[in-house]
Amino acid sequence: MTHCSKQAVTVNTTNRCNLRCEYCMASSGSEQDNPITIELAFAKKGIFDAIKGVPTGIKATTLRFFSHGEPTQEMDIIKECVEYARSLNPTIRLELQTNGLFQTTEDTEWIAKNFTAVWFSLDGPKEVNDKYRPDPDGYGRTSEIEENLKFVQKYTFAGIRSTIVEETMDKQDLLVDYYHNLGVKNICLNPLIKQIVRNESGNTEVTKDDIMLFSQYFLKAYKRGDAIGVTVLSSLTFNFDEKTAVACRSCLPMPQLNPDSSVSSVM
């Protein structure tokens, strides 16, 4: 299915996070001093409008939890939103994008048993992931995240979103094998976009890895996935797995409800 055909409403729960990924665009130290969490009444109003198709007539059939931080830091909000969405549409699909470091074993169970799809962010084996995605005290948490992944995939669809860093740029095919050994059948490999910084003139700069270099090794990974029965995607290819006249979802009524009570479009 093309990405633009997915009718989704997204709740960006909070910008609080329990990791401090080196390249995170969202959770810089200053963001964590005053984290914002979405107001439940605002989230519910957005969910109601999206599921009922107000005012566009286009009804959301998926409720996604994403974030500028880690959505599962606010499990009570997630549960309330899910309950409300189910009261409006009992068959609504539920998707979660997470760093996989859940707060309690009860949360892990609830997530496994309620979500239709859970996408885990992981950058590869311990030696790579721990380096780029430490917790606030600088410790690597990869082993716990892998345990949570194994548990969740016993109950529901679990995929991996992996940011390609220097160490894995030319090893994307090996990453596919690594995730395959963890039992994963759907992998999304994305080029690294570094933290947005201000240069000396006060302008913001976005630093991206070389897309052609990324693509060259992505293709190898894609073929490796094909050979072993693993779907390998990238955020760069999402929308193009069938014929479409729509480039992205930004102009479609698929609202993203943000912690600061703003509504934005989603890619």
- Site residues for ligand SF4 per CB under 6 A: 17, 19-21, 24, 26-27, 69-70, 99, 121, 133
Pairing of strands 62-66, 8-12: parallel
Q: How is residue 11 written in tokens?
A: 């709740």
Give 29 or 90: the residue with its C-beta nearer to ligand SF4: 29
Shortest distance (Å) from residue 138 CB to ligand SF4: 13
Shortest distance (Å) from residue 31 CB to ligand SF4: 9
Shortest distance (Å) from residue 80 CB to ligand SF4: 22
Under a CB-based contact definition with an 8 Å cutoff, are residues 185 and 120 in contact? no
Own/partner contacts of 222-228, CB < 8 Å, gap of 24 or more, are: 223/173, 224/173, 224/176, 224/177, 225/176, 225/187, 228/176, 228/177, 228/180
Shortest distance (Å) from residue 1 CB to ligand SF4: 26
Shortest distance (Å) from residue 241 CB to ligand SF4: 25
- Alpha carbon 216 to its chain centroid, in Å, reads 24
Shortest distance (Å) from residue 227 CB to ligand SF4: 30
**Phi first, then psi: what are they for 62, rounded to 5°?**
-130, 135
Residue 151 gets the label, from left (phi > 0), alpha (psi -120 to 50) or beta, of alpha
Give 24 or 63: the residue with its C-beta nearer to ligand SF4: 24
Judged by DSSP in three states, 90 sits in: coil
Give 99 or 172: the residue with its C-beta nearer to ligand SF4: 99
Rg (C-alpha) for the chain, rounded Å, is: 18
Give 123 or 173: the residue with its C-beta nearer to ligand SF4: 123
Shortest distance (Å) from residue 19 CB to ligand SF4: 4
For the purposes of burial, counting CB atoms within 10 Å of the CB of 67, is it exposed (0-12), middle (13-18) or buried (19 or more)? buried
Give 132 or 214: the residue with its C-beta nearer to ligand SF4: 132
Q: What is the DSSP letter of 14?
A: B
Give 192 or 230: the residue with its C-beta nearer to ligand SF4: 192
Give 156 or 195: the residue with its C-beta nearer to ligand SF4: 195
